[in-house]
Amino acid sequence: MTYFRQFRDESSGACAYLIGCTAGRCAVIIDPQPGQLDLYRGVVAELQLQLEWIVETHDHPRHSGAADELRQGTTARIARSYHAASAVAADRQLRHGDRLQVGDIELETIETPGHTGSCLTFRWEDRLFTGDCLLIGNCGNTDAADASAALLYDSITRRLFAFPDETLIYPAHCDGDRCVGCIGAERRSNPELHGIGRDEFIARRREAGRRQRTQPTQPPNAGAWHVE
């Protein structure tokens, strides 16, 4: 049997995910957030599991250090993209097609660059943990120095949209009350992607970046929801 739980940080909309193998008494957590580490530890202890892996979909400027802090006092290891700036501190550097085994749980690594050059998606059974690549009704921004709108479009349309309609998506950020989506719904109705070709998508991302750079600086959590 497996245990699955989504954790959401209400202040930021950031999501983390715990998958536990009850037979092997082991667990993996995806994208831990710094303000909820005690909660994760408590849940893992309550379930009598041992945290084996801490996995990140991409480098998080606001959440750096969470994985390293969570690892302290445990035998857990950290897995990140081979291309991530923080990969040097990881116990395993993941590439496209790599598989991470945690008891009966197998996570397949899918490289989905664009929001950053090192973004990963993880597939577990019928679920995709898409990080900040594909969101519910949205997709990641391309503001980072190593971001690419062209790569983001290709990652979503060629790799993620290749999965069946019923495939569930669990992103690293949720806007509002929708915390799980599916490939079919995003393919049909995501306003950032539906009916939009690659060139138009790139142009829209370029314009969005221009507007972002010219807007007055606002304090954290002010104005529109923004993914990092």
Stretch (H or E) spanning 45: helix 37-46
Least confident of 107-111, 116-120, 176-180: 176-180
What is the C-alpha separation between 59 and 164, in angstroms, rounded? 28
**Taking Cα atoms as reference points, which of 128, 120, 107 lies closest to residue 80?**
120
For the chain, list the domains and their CATH numbers: 2-214 (3.60.15.10)
More confident residue, 206 or 167: 167
pLDDT at site 30: 97
Mean pLDDT of the 134-161 span: 95
Least confident of 55-59, 113-117, 120-124, 213-217: 213-217
To the question of pTM greater than 0.95 for the whole model, the response is: no
> Residue 77: CB partners within 8 Å, gap ≥ 6?
52, 53, 54, 71, 91, 92
Burial 46-84 (b: 16+ CB within 10 A, else e): eeebbbbbbbbbbbbeebeebbeebbeeeebbbbbbbbb
Helices (H), 47-105: 66-71
| Residue 96: C-alpha distances to residues 108, 110, 153 (Å) | 8, 5, 17
pLDDT at site 62: 62
Give yes or no for residue 223 having a pLDDT over 50: no
